[in-house]
Amino acid sequence: MVNKLKRLNPQFKNFLKTSSKSAKRFGYNIYLVGGAVRDLLLNRPVFDLDIAVEGDAILLVRQIAKQLNEKFRRHHSFGTATLYHHGHKIDFATARKEIYPYSGSLPKVKKSFLKEDLARRDFSINAMAISLNKKNYGQLIDFYQGRQDLKNRLIRILYPESFLDDSLRILRAVRFQQRFTFKIETKTYAFMKQAIGAGALKWINPHRLRDELILFLDEPNPYRYIKKFYLLERFNFINKRIKLDKEDFKFFIRAQTAIRFYNKLVKNEKKVKYWLIFLTGILLNLSNHEAVEVVAKFGFKKDERSTIISIKKGLDKIKKLDKKLKASAIYKILSGYNQEAIIFFYAYFSRKKIRSNIIFFLKKVSGQKLKIKGKDLQKIGVESSSFMGEMLKEIFYLKLDKNLNTKRQELNEARNIIKKGG
């Protein structure tokens, strides 16, 4: 595995060497664990690291952070710490065993060693480790046949009660199955269906479910994920009245295409929450009241809640785009919606005129601003602040419709408005 570790980016390689040296000073053993090991074996890119520490992870991270002059966050109850290095998240955790007081609860944690730490993982393919210790640096540690399951392309749990202890693993099983195009091992699938039948997902704290759902819907091309999970559980854990049909699944496919189209069309530094488009599609057949209850129960952020509701309420309004309109009219219809909503509308409506008006808005209208300001209007005799606001709005609409490019053109329109008013 030494050669596999050499594939990591230089920042990661240097970080692991620093961590290894710091751990040796404390007399600790440390190991790269989880998804990074899996992805190295699959020759996939690695973006984040998880490190298990046979010792005090927080004490070790404090020393590493001091040495690298970087900040870190610690979580004493779980013996974990997170350090951000060159924009990457690196999680350290004290090797531990977990005991679930009851199904669906957060586990009680006890310090342990690597073998028991790996035994608490969700699936065998995520239960491997690579030693970062000088005596056996780069050695693969695989107590639970994870490498063999990778070769056989299998998702397999480590013990029968796994889905009952933490039913979020149901969502993860589907996520990993679809991401890697693996098969869920026969017994694992049977245990998963048993947990679903018992309603195990409802035992989980809604906020934990929300976070896992976001990861699920934030995968590239989530159509397959949504379809597979709907066949398994129908999203009953969100709301039993959710029903998806062929048209809904066609929408999810179009949404994937719309997102790719949007990324080519618009260069925007603001991160778009693409998962929100798919979540809205899942919730679309619910009433507005039911959708509000869902987003409140799961604790979605205020802007995420308003996006979902604005889309549901805005569908009739967007139908008005199905004809030839002035630029200002297109602006009035679309300007109140954020990027996620506009992508949703483009995917939802397949009519050519609606889509062309949305494209026109994105390419020609969105982001337009007046070059003149209130002080410029004052110089040509406008004194009333209320009239000034209305006048600026009117000039802005004229700018869109007449394609005004210069400040002089905008001022000329302002003078024309004053003349007409006089």
Domain boundaries, the chain: 2-152, 156-237, 243-365, 374-421
Predicted local confidence at residue 76, as pLDDT: 81
Q: Which CATH class is domain 243-365?
A: mainly alpha
Q: Looking at the DSSP assignment, which residues form a beta bridge with residue 81?
A: 74, 92
Residue 232 and residue 174 in contact, taking contact as beta carbons nearer than 8 Å: yes
Predicted local confidence at residue 210, as pLDDT: 97
Q: Which CATH architecture has domain 156-237?
A: Orthogonal Bundle (1.10)
- Give the pTM: 0.91
Predicted local confidence at residue 419, as pLDDT: 83
- The total of other beta-carbon atoms located within 10 Å of residue 254's CB is 18
Predicted local confidence at residue 351, as pLDDT: 96
Q: Tokens for 312, please give them.
A: 């549901």
CA 384 to chain CA mean position, Å: 47
Distance CA 101, CA 398 (A): 67
Is there a shared CATH topology between the 2-152 domain and the 156-237 domain? no
Q: Looking at the DSSP assignment, which residues form a beta bridge with residue 53?
A: 30, 94
Size of the chain in residues: 422
What is the CATH number that goes with domain 2-152? 3.30.460.10
CA 405 to chain CA mean position, Å: 39
Torsion sign across C-alpha atoms 118, 120, 121, 124: positive
Give 10-residue mean pLDDT values along the chain (422 residues): 87 92 95 96 94 95 92 86 90 88 73 93 97 95 97 97 95 97 98 96 95 97 96 96 96 97 85 96 97 96 97 97 97 96 97 97 94 89 81 95 94 88 56
SS3 labels along the chain = CHHHHCCCCHHHHHHHHHHHHHHHHHCCEEEEECHHHHHHHCCCCCCCEEEEEECCHHHHHHHHHHHHCCCEEEECCCCEEEEEECCEEEEEEECEEEECCCCCCCCEEEECCHHHHHHCCCEHHHCCEEECCHHHCCCEECCCCHHHHHHHCEECECCCCHHHHCCHHHHHHHHHHHHHCCEECHHHHHHHHHHHHCCHHHHCCHHHHHHHHHHHHCCCCCHHHHHHHHHHCCCCCCCCCCCCCHHHHHHHHHHHHHHHHHHHHCCCCCCCCHHHHHHHHHHCCCCHHHHHHHHHHCCCCHHHHHHHHHHHHHHHHHHHHCCCCCHHHHHHHHCCCCHHHHHHHHHHCCCHHHHHHHHHHHHHHCCCCCCCCHHHHHHCCCCCHHHHHHHHHHHHHHHHHHCCCCHHHHHHHHHHHHHHHC
Dihedral, CA of residue 80, residue 84, residue 89 and residue 94, to nearest 10:
-20
Nearest to 55 by CA among 63, 45, 46: 63
Give the pairing type, strands 72-75 and 49-54. unpaired
